[in-house]
Amino acid sequence: MSEKVLSVQDITMQFGGVVAVNNLSLEVHKDEIVSLIGPNGAGKTTAFNVITGVYAPTNGAVDFEGKNIISNYPRGKMEKMYAGENKGKYKKVTEPTPDKITKLGIARTFQNIRLFKELTVLENVLIAKHMRMKANIFADTFLLNWKEEKKMKEDSLELLRILDLYELKDEKSSSLPYGKQRHLEIARALATNPSLLLLDEPAAGLNPQETDELTEFIRKVRDHFHLTVFMIEHHMNLVMDISDRIYVIDFGKMIANGTPNEIQNNQKVIDAYLGVAEDE
């Protein structure tokens, strides 16, 4: 089996008394496309937010490329309230902010598109390049690092060219059609040079044709940039079509995992999506 890129271990996320993600463990391997699915409110986006550092988990750890990047255990107020499992298994506290996670090489997109609306397509991509900039603010202001700036711009234009967004480079990002905005969001995430790409419902709000385009787009991105893709998605066609493996969660707990074929025939998954009749 190829090397592990992401390994989520016993993640529990508890808000007050509500356990949004309960003891979730999963693994994503290199060059895979893995999907996380589940009914509304199952805790998929929360899991994403934990991995990207938006929330510190209540308990559990996350490893990325073999290194521990996030770790926490129930402390303070949570110590008494904690309702999850594996209490006491983790002793370390590592709570990086989202920008640190991105710097390590995990890029993400958002469920409801979060582009920099007033800025152009090119600027959106350039901003993602900013964190790798070596020059300090003085050198940058007085154009002492013009070579670096020039390279940033060339790289960004090259990226836009590969992803067929070059023609739109000077358009305001909010003026793009919805499907293109989705593409741009992925392009912007790619500009951070990630090795793992997290997509949060990339096909939300797209029509069937746009969804097909997106499927191709994601494949193209994975092959061209040698990426690992981990995504949340509701469009079953897209998920079954593109995924190598699928994890299914419901009420914060993982209920199944396996290849698309296995998942389609898994009784637990069918029950979670369609509901179980009370008396039969």
Partner 1 sequence: MTEKKKTQLKVLFSLIALLVCAGMLFYVNHYTRPTFMLRTVLQLGAIYALVAVSMNLLNGFTGLFSLGQAGFMAIGAYTFAIFTIPVKSRSGVYYLYGVADWLSNIQIPIWAAIILAGLVAAILAAIIGAPVLRLKSDYFAIATLGFAEIVRIIVGSSPMNRITNGSLGLKLIPKFSNFYFPFIVVGICILIVSLLIRSSYGRAFKAIREDEIAAEAMGINLAKHKQLSFIISSFFAGISGALMGMYLGAITSTTFNVTLTYNILLIVVIGGMGSITGSIISSFLVIAAREWWLRFLDMEIFIGSFKVPLLKSGFRMVVFSLILMIVVLFFRRGIMGTNELNWNFIINRLNKKKKTGGESCE
- Under the binding rule (CB under 8 A), the answer on residue 141 touching partner 1 is yes
Query: Cβ closer to partner 1: 131 or 276?
Result: 131
Considering only 106-114, 206-214, 233-241, 255-263, which stretch makes contact with partner 1 by CB under 8 A?
A: 106-114
Q: Which of residues 41-80 bind partner 1 (CB under 8 A)?
A: 52, 54
**Residue 81 in the binding site for partner 1 (CB under 8 A):** no
Among the listed residues 133, 162, 204, 240, the single contact to partner 1 using CB under 8 A: 133
Binding segment toward partner 1, per CB under 8 A, in 61-69, 72-80, 112-120, 210-218: 112-120
Binding segment toward partner 1, per CB under 8 A, in 27-35, 122-130, 156-164, 237-245: 122-130
The interface region with partner 1, picked from 28-36, 60-68, 92-100, 228-236 by CB under 8 A, is 92-100
* Comparison of 133 and 240: residue with beta carbon closer to partner 1: 133
CB 185, min distance to partner 1, A: 9
- Integer Cα distance of 265 and 31 in angstroms: 25
Among 20, 42, 128, 239, binds partner 1 (CB under 8 A): 128
Tokens of 214: 């997106």
Give the shortest CB-121-to-partner 1 separation in angstroms. Answer: 13
Q: In whole angstroms, give the CA distance from residue 150 to residue 5.
A: 32
**Site size toward partner 1, by CB under 8 A:** 35
The distance of closest approach from Cβ of residue 48 to partner 1 in the complex, given in angstroms and rounded to an integer, is 11
- Give residues 191-220 in contact with partner 1 (rule: CB under 8 A): 192
Side-chain half-sphere CA neighbours of 22 within 13 A: 17
In the complex, the smallest distance separating the C-beta of residue 180 from partner 1, rounded to whole angstroms, is 17
x-or-dash string of contact with partner 1, 168-187, rule CB under 8 A: --------------------
Which lies closer to partner 1 via its Cβ, residue 15 or residue 142?
Answer: 142
- Helix/strand/coil (H/E/C) assignment for every residue in the chain: CCCEEEEEEEEEEEECCEEEEEEEEEEEECCCEEEEECCCCCCHHHHHHHHCCCCCCCEEEEEECCEEEEEECCCCCHHHHCCCCCCCCCCCCECCCHHHHHHHCEEECCCCCCCCCCCEHHHHHHHHHHHHCCCCHHHHHCCCCHHHHHHHHHHHHHHHHHCCCHHHCCCEHHHCCHHHHHHHHHHHHHCCCCCEEEEECCCCCCCHHHHHHHHHHHHHHHHHHCCEEEEECCCHHHHHHHCCEEEEEECCEEEEEECHHHHHCCHHHHHHHHCCCCCC
Binding site for partner 1 (CB under 8 A): 52, 54, 97-99, 102-103, 107-108, 110, 114-119, 123, 126-133, 135, 137, 140-143, 149, 152, 188, 192
